Amino acid sequence: MNYIFRKARILVVEDQRIIALDLATTIRRVGHDAIGIESKGEKAIQTAEALKPDLIFMDISLAGDMDGIETARIIRQKLKIPVIYISGNYDNSTIEKSKSASAYGYLVKPVEDCDISTIINTAIYRHDAENFVLNLG
């Protein structure tokens, strides 16, 4: 199996609809499947449980009671799905807080197609490699 170029099924969690649609379009353009869009953390968890995506793009600021960091922490804990943060915030405290959910990457808006492609391939490769090692033991 070619882990680097495997087509990934990706859930987009972003509370700004136009940004979410643009990100989903970009994901498709770089060769992957955007399988859903959610704007609230609680709904994102339910959708992740139902659809079992390979990867999630998660905005840090979300509509509703739960932010993206808490949502990502729950998803990683329950489902072991890798999460890439995408945010307009690039301050040290936000980045440090984001580390608590074991993110597989962090992109700052606006993002370029090549950045999205690279981070998807890197995250999927890392996740597959980690699972391969775990399955050896």
3-state secondary structure string, 37-82?
Answer: EECEHHHHHHHHHHHCCCEEEEECCCECCCCHHHHHHHHHHHHCCC
Per-residue pLDDT, 88: 83
Per-residue pLDDT, 100: 67
d(C-alpha 131, C-alpha 95), whole Å: 25
> Domain 9-136 belongs to what architecture?
3-Layer(aba) Sandwich (3.40)
The model carries a pTM of: 0.90
Query: pLDDT 10s per residue in the chain (137 long)?
Result: 344 578 999 999 999 999 999 999 999 999 999 999 999 999 999 999 999 999 999 999 999 999 999 999 999 999 999 999 998 877 777 777 766 667 898 898 888 999 999 999 999 999 988 888 778 76
